[in-house]
């Protein structure tokens, strides 16, 4: 029988919770019932990537108790999987409010459960956490971050021994263990000051940067253009720990700081949202680039896995490129250089993209006769293909439309440091032949066709909003559109049916038209919204994209 939210809230008045928490819950019970319901109508879901939610008291919030209970579930799973073997977990955290606090709670619970913990001495990015799991030979890794979400959020990402976010069977098994923890009294919170994690820092930093340095392809070009002006911003996050030193290691000597955004601050005071996909987040860096005369603007989000890129167009104006455009440049550049260096002749190399990422990548890979895998949204699915092919084939790189890319196998997630390095050296490589990144993109359009992509997100908050999002998906399944922006729908792909797609089950719909138009519909796994991805091709792509956005607004 489903518990009433009020009864659940009252259970948080028990001695299992600290005095401050009990006081806040009592005030909520006597106050706004809508707010009380939103905080207690469900337990913050420990999904296949971990936790993510607004920070505050309540079962549907990120707090010491939901984090502790999730960690106890993970600890129980590790103990059941490796009952007689030593167990270790590496732990990192970003600059968000309470990230260090949640990291300390997490470390304490693991230690109290007899699990060795390696913990960074300060903030570090998600990709470095991914790298350090295998570098330190750990069973798992945990990253405290809510990625690019607004400041009210925090999260908890779980990675497995291969450095990738958890997938089957471990994801469902961990979720089952977490769901068994229903009260803080079941959690072994650390009350022993002698139990402390092993502190890590500079040694792993060096190993990480040394490793991704080997993936660069045009360091001679970097030497010739070492003074190229590059503006970079970490958007108050962890990128300051890896991107600055990596660009310096590559030989770039004129990297310009957005000093206000070098400050690690979980309130993200200079941006509305620390998402480098959004023009508002890039505004300060682009304005600085105009003042300094820089041609390249790079950025990363708070946990430094995804990137932002602005370049000068043919009018000399800075323009922000989309994740699909960035991916097109990276795939074309890497394949061009791998071909020139003779690296495509060995190891049966391949690349990967997600199903909602531009089809231009399919055409680029076809040119070089390199297989391109299509996977479900989420970098863990890219990492799965890498793991399945490890030791058999050579992985060049993979990316997704949401500004995430990763070359090589040192990291099993998106990596802003390696990606910023590749983009900067690509700019230097193109400068050798009197070309720009923007000009290179226009050449790709001329060769492969004009591809245009877009994204519309519809937010629906609270319990009613979650139900409405599910109803939207249900309606599209029962009554799929027959036309999209005047184009006939010729195929409907429902990813709930693995036997038809060849991929894992996922709540995604895709509509394909006779002119190549593709619309994908997918509820977000981390935010209260439903996403509509649009892909069109041809001379009238801009007009058709506008029509699609109007149709799905």
Q: How far apart are CA 251 and CA 223, in angstroms?
A: 7
Q: How is residue 306 annotated by DSSP?
A: B
Per the CB < 8 A criterion, the answer to whether 544 and 485 are in contact is yes
Q: Are 300 and 246 in contact (CB under 8 A)?
A: no
CA distances from 32 to 26, 406, 525 (A): 11, 45, 27
Q: Tokens 């509820």 map to which residue?
A: 523
Residues in the chain, overall count? 553
Please state whether 107 falls in left (phi above 0), alpha (psi between -120 and 50) or beta: alpha
Helix or strand (DSSP H, E) at 63:
none
Q: Which of 42, 66, 69, 68 is nearest to 52 (CA)?
A: 66
* Residue among 88, 99, 147, 221 flagged as catalytic: 147
Which residues are CB-contacts of 378 (< 8 A; sequence separation ≥ 6)? 49, 165, 354, 400, 525
Expressed in angstroms, the distance from the first to the final Cα of the chain is 38
93: part of which helix (H) or strand (E)? strand 88-93
375 phi/psi in degrees, rounded to 5:
-130, 170
Residues 6+ apart with CB under 8 A from 466: 460, 528
What's the rounded Cα separation, in Å, for the pair 512 and 241?
Answer: 43
Ramachandran category for residue 391: left, alpha or beta (phi over 0 → left; psi -120 to 50 → alpha): left
Encoded tokens for 293: 């005369």
DSSP for 396-434, please give it.
EEEEETTTEEEESSS-SS--HHHHHHHHHHHHHHHHTTT
DSSP character at residue 116:
E
At which residue do the structure tokens 């490796």 appear?
82
Q: Active-site residue 506, yes or no? A: no
Complete DSSP assignment for 30-83:
TS-HHHHHHHHSSPPP-BTTEEEEEBSSSTTSBSHHHHHHHHHHHHHHHHHHST
Residue 458 main-chain phi, psi, to 5 deg: -115, 120
Question: DSSP state, 347?
Answer: S
Residue 315, C-beta contacts closer than 8 angstroms, at least 6 positions apart? none
Beta bridge partners of 530: 458, 523
Q: In what order do the strands lie in the sheet with 350-354?
A: 371-375, 350-354, 395-400, 404-407
Alpha helices (H) in 432-497, listed in sequence order: 437-448, 462-478
CA angle 553, 375, 344 (to 5 degrees): 125
Region of 331 on the Ramachandran plot (φ > 0 left; ψ -120 to 50 alpha; else beta): alpha
The β-bridge partners of 372 are: 351
Report, as residue numbers or ranges, the catalytic residues: 147
């Amino acid at each position: 029988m489903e518990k009433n939210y009020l009864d659940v809230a009252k259970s948080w008045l028990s001695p299992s919770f600290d005095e401050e928490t009990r006081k806040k819950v009592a005030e909520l019970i006597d106050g706004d019932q809508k707010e009380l319901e939103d905080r207690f109508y469900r337990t913050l879901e420990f999904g296949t990537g971990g936790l993510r939610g607004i920070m505050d008291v309540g079962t549907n919030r990120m707090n010491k108790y939901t984090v502790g209970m999730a960690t106890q579930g993970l600890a129980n799973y590790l103990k059941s999987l490796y009952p007689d073997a030593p167990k270790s977990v590496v732990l990192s955290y970003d600059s968000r409010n309470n990230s260090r606090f949640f990291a300390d709670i997490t470390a304490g619970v693991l230690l109290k459960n007899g699990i060795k913990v390696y913990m960074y001495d300060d903030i570090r990015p998600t990709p470095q956490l991914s790298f350090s799991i295998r570098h330190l030979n750990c069973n798992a890794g945990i990253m405290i971050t809510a990625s690019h979400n607004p400041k009210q959020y925090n999260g908890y990402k779980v990675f497995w021994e291969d450095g990738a976010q958890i997938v089957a069977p471990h994801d469902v098994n961990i979720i089952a263990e977490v769901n068994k923890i229903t009260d803080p009294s079941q959690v072994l919170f650390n009350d022993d000051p002698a139990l402390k994690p092993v502190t890590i820092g500079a040694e792993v930093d060096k190993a990480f940067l040394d490793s991704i340095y080997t993936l660069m392809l045009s360091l001679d070009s970097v030497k010739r253009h070492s003074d190229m002006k590059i503006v970079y911003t970490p958007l108050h996050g962890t990128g300051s720990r890896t991107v600055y030193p990596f660009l310096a290691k590559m030989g770039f000597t004129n990297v310009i700081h957005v000093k206000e955004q070098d400050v690690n601050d979980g309130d993200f005071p200079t941006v509305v949202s620390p998402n480098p996909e959004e023009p508002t987040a890039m505004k300060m860096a682009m304005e600085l680039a105009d003042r300094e005369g820089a041609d390249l603007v790079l950025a990363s989000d708070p946990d430094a896995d995804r990137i932002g890129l602005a370049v000068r167009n043919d009018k000399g104006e800075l323009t922000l490129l989309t994740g699909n455009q960035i991916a097109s440049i990276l795939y074309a550049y890497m394949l061009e250089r791998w071909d020139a260096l003779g690296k495509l002749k060995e190891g049966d190399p391949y690349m990967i993209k997600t199903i909602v990422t531009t089809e231009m990548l399919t055409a680029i890979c076809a040119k070089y006769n390199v297989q391109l895998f299509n996977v479900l949204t989420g970098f863990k699915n890219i990492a799965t293909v890498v793991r399945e092919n490890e030791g058999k084939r050579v992985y060049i790189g993979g990316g997704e439309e949401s500004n995430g890319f990763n070359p090589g196998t040192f990291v099993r997630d998106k990596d802003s440091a390696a990606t910023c390095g590749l983009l900067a050296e690509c700019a230097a490589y193109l400068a050798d032949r009197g070309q720009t990144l923007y000009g290179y993109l226009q050449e790709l359009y001329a060769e492969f066709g004009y591809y245009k992509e877009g994204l519309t997100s519809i937010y629906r908050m609270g319990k009613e909003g979650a139900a409405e999002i599910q109803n939207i998906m249900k309606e599209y399944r029962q009554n799929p559109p027959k036309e999209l922006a005047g184009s006939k729908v010729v195929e409907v792909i429902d990813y709930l049916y693995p036997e038809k797609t060849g991929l894992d089950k996922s709540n995604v719909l895709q509509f394909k038209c006779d002119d190549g138009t593709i619309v994908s519909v997918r509820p977000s796994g981390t935010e209260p919204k439903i996403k509509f991805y649009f892909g069109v091709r041809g001379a009238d792509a801009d007009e058709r994209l506008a029509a699609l956005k109007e149709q799905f607004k």
